C-alpha cells in the first residue's frame, strides 16, 4: 500500500457520510424522479471532494453545495433536452450541451 493510498483511506474515514447522505437525499427530492439517483450521487461526490480539499465542512456549506447541484438539474429541465443537435451557424451540427457556458463547473 502506498503512502497516497493510506492518506486517502484516512481522509475518507473522516468524512461524515451519514450527514452527507441525509443532505443528498433531502435535496435530490427537488428534481424529477428519474434524475434523483444521479442528483444524489452528484451531491455526495461533490461534497466529498470539497471535504477532502478543506479538511471538513459545516452542514451549511454542504447544503450550499447541494443547492448548487440541484439548480443545475433544474436549469437543465427548463432548457429541455441537451441531447439535441443544433446548427452552429457554420453549417455544422453540434450538441446543444456544448453551447452552454459552465462558469468553471465541470457539469
Per-residue pLDDT reduced to its tens digit, 18-36: 999 999 999 999 998 888 9
Place of cell 493510506: 6
How much is the pLDDT for 1?
43
Please enumerate in sequence order all residues whose Cβ is within 8 A of that of 94, keeping only pairs 6 or more positions apart, or say none. Answer: 85, 86, 88
How much is the pLDDT for 81?
58
Q: Which of 52, 77, 70, 68 is nearest to 104 (CA)?
A: 68
How much is the pLDDT for 90?
81
Assess contact for 15 and 45: CB atoms under 8 A. Answer: no
Q: Indicate the domain borders of the chain.
A: 3-99
How much is the pLDDT for 6?
40
Q: Is 74 helix (H, G, I), strand (E, B) or coil?
A: helix
Alpha helical stretches, state H, the chain: 3-14, 17-28, 36-54, 59-79
- Tell if the pTM clears 0.75, that is, is over it: no
Residue ranges in the chain whose pLDDT is less than 50: 1, 4-11
How much is the pLDDT for 88?
74
CA end-to-end distance (rounded Å), the chain: 33
Amino acid at each position: 500500500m502506498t503512502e497516497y493510498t493510506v492518506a486517502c483511506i484516512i481522509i475518507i474515514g473522516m468524512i461524515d457520510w451519514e450527514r452527507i447522505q441525509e443532505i443528498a437525499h433531502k435535496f435530490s427530492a427537488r428534481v424529477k424522479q428519474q434524475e434523483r439517483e444521479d442528483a444524489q450521487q452528484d451531491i455526495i461526490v461533490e461534497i466529498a471532494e470539497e471535504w477532502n480539499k478543506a479538511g471538513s465542512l459545516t452542514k451549511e456549506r454542504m447544503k450550499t453545495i447541494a443547492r448548487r447541484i440541484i439548480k443545475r438539474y433544474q436549469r437543465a429541465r427548463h432548457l429541455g433536452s441537451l441531447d439535441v443537435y443544433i446548427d452552429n451557424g457554420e453549417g455544422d451540427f453540434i450538441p446543444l450541451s456544448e453551447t452552454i457556458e459552465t462558469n468553471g463547473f465541470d457539469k
